[in-house]
Copies of this chain bind each other. A is one copy, B any other.
């Protein structure tokens, strides 16, 4: 049999072509009973709507821009995979651009201009663009922000609860008997909002457990790569009041870098220093010791971002900006559990 078409589905389901079209496009109100019959026929025949043609009919390019700071940071690579997969299921192609945190590059795609005209919408993990920039955006195409919302921006954003997650990670370190806990990755400057929320959670955990916080154990970092974690950990080992007995790192690369420093200096993990990361990248699971980490649900983040963008391209174009929260969990492994 040749590739099934709308007509074949309508015949099999015993409904009009218009009804099938309404169901597969998710448009209009169709009774539950008729919807079920159409869906059964779609499944039986293996019908696949020509999503690209549909986009073109609607005056769309079918292209979504995904703008991330660094593609070779595994968290972004894994999230990018998830977003490409979800978008494809909806008939969209994702154009990935990495900005390296250059404001001009972020502006080029997000704010407008020749490039921006190619995309039906943009998903942005902002690094360099400020609140002021986004407030000036003169571009009617939907924009969904990933990570912490830039305060007061008029856009949807998808994030996990960073304060609660950081607090849970820190309290876990108290739970396993640690008392002198350091933090690696604070960014007390504009653009460092996500890190600041994690520091807030780190502080909250101390307050909730009535622990004294040694401010000198909070280390700031411009970048979040292995080398930065390795360097920060080396400094903490030489701390004038002695090294910490646990470290909460704001991403897994920092944590893996820190573990490298600890092991190469003969410090045992977790016996002498326990380590928690953030992101749950695959390589942390295969490290020795395997890495305890905050595991954001990347698949849900991807789904929420794509779903929101597509909603804005359709009937819900004028909804109020929404904050969408994805779940996370603390994955406890050898770097804290021994």
A226–B93 contact, CB under 8 A? no
Which residues of A, 44-83, contact B by the 8 Å Cβ criterion?
Answer: 52-53, 56, 70-72, 74, 77-78, 80-81
Flag whether A95 is at the interface (Cβ < 8 A). Answer: yes
* Interchain CB contact (< 8 A) of A78 among B72, B225, B283: B72
Q: How large is the interface on A (under 10, 10 to 19, 20 to 34, 35 or more residues)?
A: 35 or more
A55 to B288, CA, bound (A): 50
A299 neighbours in B (Cβ, 8 Å) = none
> Contact mask A252-269 → B, CB, 8 Å, 1/0?
010011011001100000
Flag whether A9 is at the interface (Cβ < 8 A). Answer: no
B96–A96 contact, CB under 8 A? yes
A287 neighbours in B (Cβ, 8 Å) = 256, 260, 287
A95–B95 contact, CB under 8 A? yes
A236 to B282, CA, bound (A): 23
Residue of B nearest to A283 (CB): B283
A contact face: mostly helix, strand, loop, or mixed: helix
A56 to B80, CA, bound (A): 29
Flag whether A97 is at the interface (Cβ < 8 A). Answer: yes
> Contact mask A262-294 → B, CB, 8 Å, 1/0?
011000000000000000001101111010000
A230 neighbours in B (Cβ, 8 Å) = 286
Q: Which of A263, A285, A287 has the most chain B CB atoms closer than 10 A to its own CB? A: A287
A264 to B290, CA, bound (A): 10
Flag whether A21 is at the interface (Cβ < 8 A). Answer: no
Flag whether A196 is at the interface (Cβ < 8 A). Answer: no
Residue of B nearest to A96 (CB): B96
Tell me the minimal C-beta distance from A298 to chain B in angstroms. Answer: 10
* Interchain CB contact (< 8 A) of A93 among B97, B253, B263: B97
Flag whether A295 is at the interface (Cβ < 8 A). Answer: no
Q: A230-B286, A286-B257 are in contact. Are A98 and B81 (CB under 8 A)?
A: yes
B81–A70 contact, CB under 8 A? yes
Flag whether A40 is at the interface (Cβ < 8 A). Answer: no
Residue of B nearest to A226 (CB): B286
A80–B84 contact, CB under 8 A? no
Tell me the minimal C-beta distance from A98 to chain B in angstroms. Answer: 6
A81–B74 contact, CB under 8 A? no
Flag whether A43 is at the interface (Cβ < 8 A). Answer: no
Given contacts A74-B283, A93-B97, A256-B283, 14 further A-B contacts (CB under 8 A): A53-B114, A71-B96, A72-B80, A74-B74, A74-B77, A81-B98, A93-B95, A96-B96, A226-B285, A256-B286, A259-B288, A264-B288, A283-B283, A287-B287
Sampled A-B contacts (22; CB under 8 Å): A71-B77, A72-B74, A72-B77, A72-B78, A72-B282, A74-B74, A77-B77, A84-B97, A84-B98, A94-B97, A95-B96, A96-B96, A226-B283, A226-B285, A230-B286, A253-B283, A259-B288, A260-B287, A260-B290, A264-B288, A283-B283, A287-B287
